[in-house]
Amino acid sequence: MSQQAIATGSLSSLGAPGGPKKMFGVDSRFVPPVFITLILLVGQLSFGMLESYKKTLLAIATAILAELVLGRIFVGKWPVLASAYISGISVGILVRSPAFWPYILCALLAIMSKYVLRFNGRHLWNPSNFGISALLFLAGDTVASLSIQWGNFFLPMVVIWALGSIIVWRVKRFHITATYVVSFFVFAFIRAWMTGNPWQAEVAPITGPEYQLYIFFMITDPKTTVRTVRGQCLVAFSVALVEMVLRLHQVVYAPFYALFLVGPTALLLDMWLQSRRRKLAVAVA
Amino acid sequence: MKHPLIARSVLTAIFVGLLFVPAIIRRVSSQETSQLDKKAALARHGFYLEEVSRKAGINFIHQAPQFDPKLEGIMPQVASMGASVSIVDFDRDGWPDIYVTNSREGSKNCLYRNQHDGTFKDVAEEMGIADVNQPGTGVSMGAVWGDYDNDGYEDLLLYKWGRPELFHNDGGHGFTRVTEQAGLPKWINANTAIWFDYDGDGLLDLFIGGYYSEDIDLWHLSSTKIMPDSFEYAKNGGRKYLFHNLGNGKFEEVSAKVGIDSRRWALAASAIDLRGTGHPDLFIANDYGISELYLNDGKRFHESGEETGVGFAPKSGMNVAYGDILNQGKYSVYVSNISEEGVLIQGNNLWVPREGTSGDKIKFENLARDLGVELGGWSFGAQFGDLNNDGNLDLYLTNGYVSLDRNRSYWYDFSHVAGGNSNIIGDAKNWPAMDGRSLSGYQQKHVWLNDGAGKFVDVAQAVGVTDTYDGRAVALVDLWNRGVLDVVVANQKGPLLIYKNTVLPENQWIEFELEGTRSNRSAIGAKVTVFWNGQQQVQEVSGGSGFSAQNDRRLHFGLGKNPAVEKAVIRWPSGKLQEIDKPVPGQLYRLKE
């Protein structure tokens, strides 16, 4: 198993070759964890958004512990924990369940997916996306993710969108977020036209907090996106397209499932195309 | 690593195993019960419920409101409340009667007088409390009974999405409308009201909780921006009113003066002395937000939801019921919420006082999951009562929101609008049309039997509760003076159901009917603690509990087999204590303060 490839698995891995870049005076790898923590704290202090501190802490602790153990066993060194922290906190915010066990299970599935579901040294799913999608699919009687955790109000949305945009811009992932958002709006209007629903109803989901985590932390994950900028935009567009199809079939968790389906498919395709290019280059040489 | 292949295989096996965990947990915790015949249900669970409304001469079907056509697309959702039931012995003949509300303009409410022979007769028309939903006055949402002038007869407060009405009971022979004299406001879109004597002056005061803002007339909308501005943090609902009884037939609105100030969307409220201070505390379950607990020091209320733990996680509160479920002399509070598989799992809350906390420092923890009463679908009314007289309080829960097309659900559209920005969710015109789709419809009810050892088991199907109407209000009452609790359920756009209870005769009981003298004559707030077989159970006379409901004021205690009853202690709202030494099981005690 490739040690280098396992080390991290989300926005937190956005360090430049030759040493980590600085953002706001902070190692850029740690900006996303700091940002998501700020979201959590502001949401909690202003709205009391967490159903339970214990559950969120449980998810974070489980993710970090799993990463430590698996990293030590399979990579042979202590891993950077920023990725596991983001996965844990995403699980803690996005999963809603009165029970405790789903938080443990979801965090475990998220982290373990990085070590189990691999191809050519790369993990295929964004860890949080895998854990949450699997849990929503397998434990719908106990788990939900209807997420309005910091209200349906305008100001928090603008602040998070602005800060999130700055961060993904600085880590050179803004084109992914922008492509997805533009595509979502276009498809929302198409859905409104097709279903006869008010366009506001079709646009509504992206104005909610669930999407703020989704567009800044899930679809931008460098370890599970393709390599070229054009390819990344195409994948973001495809996620929005598949999401539209799922939404037309009234799938409540369409965004999670769309990324679950499109992400690994695009990654495998990308790896296959690269391998073919390498073979062609070798043949030409 | 020495054996990477083995390690990876083990990891993969664990990973695959984890994917099966939800299915295993589901199997282990499944509580399915099959239907049983009466004999088998009696033998296994100690009671059986038989629906007898037709036999009892009751053929009431609730009619839902029809609002401004601007709401047409989501009318089934907006017009989804109004079925209520309250129990009263309005003519003091010693037999409980039933009052039910209707909610279409022009429809009539019914007062079913107990005929003492197993049947009831609607006398609302002749008593003057039937035609209360005239156009322009709003429609009924519920009713609570309390003797506000201490003349010995229970008076009627009718709360509506519209003009609240107070009817004076004229000696059990008729009712006189006294709304204006009492000083009630012209319009409240209320979903809850309760009678309680918050300041202990011997006069019943009145709390009314608004749902929609009181400046909205749902039949004549100037704007469609009437919906909650958030699914979980809405504060644009109706205001709250506390009417202090001045003793001369007039009431003074004092909510701001005594510290009650909220515009959350109240759906249910109830008052009880949670801390043993002698003052009733006020618990409000709010839709689209957190619950509120107003602790009462006798003069002012202090909102302590967050400090006590009950007002932290926002849900869709729809019920407030109290019960001493562990026979420890302490009340737990049951608040119902929404759970829909695959979409929204809020879970109902059972707030149990945390061990070692009391008084102003009281804290509650939600033990609904541990005790097995968490998931009840789109839950509405619930009440605690000892249904099998085994000495432990059981829990009856009704549920179901909108039952239309069985095969098409509105949940997808509901969920994605609910998560949107306040400008979108707050405007009814942005909500997709329901178009005949159901929203958590046709749900099975729950009758949770308390095993006395910290677990509730759902036996609804086994004991004969098989209806799937859109249930709203539940009231418990010994309808035929037999020493058992029967169940009355009001259903939205459905029939009023009377579940007649048959209980194992070996299980004993005792009942108390209280009348205050220094305290309010209805004895609302009076507390009875029965001590038997080394345990105790406390109950309190309530001026409204559950969802849009009021149980009989009579208190019913199950005692189990061969009980040795030591004493019953009555604590009146005035503070006076009264004790009955070795009360005899199988009797109704009529006590005056």
Residue in B23, B369, B419 nearest the CB of A205: B419
Interface of B with A in 174-233 (CB under 8 A): 229-233
- On chain B, the residues whose CB falls within 8 A of the CB of A137 are none
Q: Which amino acid is at A240?
A: A
Judge whether residue A6 has pLDDT over 60: no
Two structure tokens written together for A281: 């280059």
Contact B253, B451 (CB under 8 A): no
B4 touches chain A (CB under 8 A): yes
Q: Is A175 helix (H, G, I), strand (E, B) or coil?
A: helix
Helices A127-138 and B21-29 cross at an angle (nearest 10°) of 30
β-pair partners for B175: B169
Task: Judge: A144–B369 Cβ closer than 8 Å, yes or no.
Answer: no
Task: Judge: A144–B345 Cβ closer than 8 Å, yes or no.
Answer: yes
Q: How many angstroms separate the CA atoms of B94 and B97, rounded?
A: 10
pLDDT value of position A81: 86
Q: Is A176 helix (H, G, I), strand (E, B) or coil?
A: helix
Task: Judge: A96–B7 Cβ closer than 8 Å, yes or no.
Answer: no
Closest approach of A51 to chain B, Cα-based (Å): 5
* Residue in A49, A56, A146, A194 to test binding to B, most B beta-carbons within 10 Å: A146
Q: How many angstroms separate the CA atoms of B590 and B570, rounded?
A: 12
Q: How many angstroms separate the CA atoms of B153 and B165, rounded?
A: 17
Q: Could you tell me how many CB contacts below 8 A there are between chain A and chain B?
A: 173
Of the candidates B277, B474, B260, the residue with the CA atom closest to the CA atom of residue B387: B474
Reported ipTM: the value is: 0.85
pLDDT value of position B496: 98
- On chain A, the residues whose CB falls within 8 A of the CB of B425 are 152, 204
B29 touches chain A (CB under 8 A): no
Task: Judge: B420–A208 Cβ closer than 8 Å, yes or no.
Answer: yes
Two structure tokens written together for B423: 């400008």
Task: Judge: B342–A252 Cβ closer than 8 Å, yes or no.
Answer: yes
- On chain A, the residues whose CB falls within 8 A of the CB of B12 are 116
- On chain B, the residues whose CB falls within 8 A of the CB of A139 are 22, 25-26
pLDDT value of position A10: 42
Contact A92, A103 (CB under 8 A): yes
Two structure tokens written together for B582: 């070795």
Of the candidates B382, B489, B484, B400, the residue with the CA atom closest to the CA atom of residue B53: B489
Q: How many angstroms separate the CA atoms of B187 and B160, rounded?
A: 8
In which band, very low, low, confident or very high, does the pLDDT at A144 lie, cut at 50, 70 and 90? Answer: confident
Residue in A115, A147, A250 nearest the CB of B419: A147
Two structure tokens written together for B231: 């699914």
Residue listed under structure tokens 């937190």: A12
Dihedral sign computed on CA atoms, order A160, A165, A171, A175: positive
Task: Judge: A141–B420 Cβ closer than 8 Å, yes or no.
Answer: no
Contact A93, A217 (CB under 8 A): no
State pTM to two decimals: 0.91
B411 touches chain A (CB under 8 A): yes
Contact B471, B545 (CB under 8 A): no
Diameter over CA atoms, chain B: 92
- Least CA distance to B435: which residue of chain A? A197
* Helix (H) or strand (E) run with residue A72 in it: helix A53-74
pLDDT value of position A12: 42
Residue in B11, B25, B432 nearest the CB of A101: B25
B306 touches chain A (CB under 8 A): yes
pLDDT, one tens digit for every residue, chain B (593 residues): 667 788 889 999 999 999 999 999 888 877 656 777 888 899 999 999 999 999 999 999 999 999 999 999 999 999 999 999 999 999 999 999 999 999 999 999 999 999 999 999 999 999 999 999 999 999 999 999 999 999 999 999 999 999 999 999 999 999 999 999 999 999 999 999 999 999 999 999 999 999 999 999 999 999 999 999 888 889 999 999 999 999 999 999 999 999 999 999 999 999 999 999 999 999 999 999 999 999 999 999 999 998 999 998 888 999 999 999 999 999 999 999 999 988 888 899 999 999 999 888 999 999 998 999 999 999 999 999 999 999 999 999 999 999 999 999 999 999 888 888 888 999 999 999 999 999 999 999 999 999 988 899 999 999 999 999 999 999 999 999 999 999 999 999 999 999 999 999 999 999 999 999 999 999 999 999 999 999 999 999 999 999 999 999 999 999 999 999 999 999 999 999 999 999 999 999 999 99
All domains in chain A, ordered by first residue: 3-284 (1.10.3430)
Residue listed under structure tokens 């019943």: B204
Two structure tokens written together for A22: 């600085």
* Residue in B6, B9, B21, B229 to test binding to A, most A beta-carbons within 10 Å: B21
Q: How many angstroms separate the CA atoms of B145 and B45, rounded?
A: 33
Task: Judge: B424–A204 Cβ closer than 8 Å, yes or no.
Answer: yes
Classify burial at A231, counting beta carbons within 10 Å of its beta carbon; exposed 0-12, middle 13-18, buried 19 or more.
middle
